[in-house]
Amino acid sequence: MSEAELNRWKTAVAPIEARFIEKNEKKGLPAKAFIADVKKLAAKYAAMPANDVMAEAVNSPAQGLY
């Protein structure tokens, strides 16, 4: 995706993200920290080759999500 398209998506999602944070923070949930973690991990994985991402998923699977 081009940088312009990525920025268009970020702009479109920003109000949804803000509502998510506001709604969940009011419930006492750490929504702002959650979104920060998601963005940090997105940047990490975006910089990795696809094979490395897959290797990490196989070697360190997320546990206890279901």
Q: What confidence score (pLDDT) does residue 63 get?
A: 81
Residue 64 lies in a domain: no
Q: Based on the structure, what is the number of domains in the chain?
A: 1
Encode pLDDT of 1-60 as tens digits: 899 999 999 999 999 999 999 999 999 999 999 999 999 999 999 999 999 999 998 998
Q: What confidence score (pLDDT) does residue 65 get?
A: 73
Residue 66 lies in a domain: no
Q: What confidence score (pLDDT) does residue 33 get?
A: 97
Q: Determine the average pLDDT of the residues in 57-66.
A: 83
Residue 65 lies in a domain: no
Residue 43 lies in a domain: yes
d(CA 34, CA 45): 16
Q: What confidence score (pLDDT) does residue 44 get?
A: 93
Query: pTM here?
Result: 0.75
Structural domain harbouring 8: 3-59
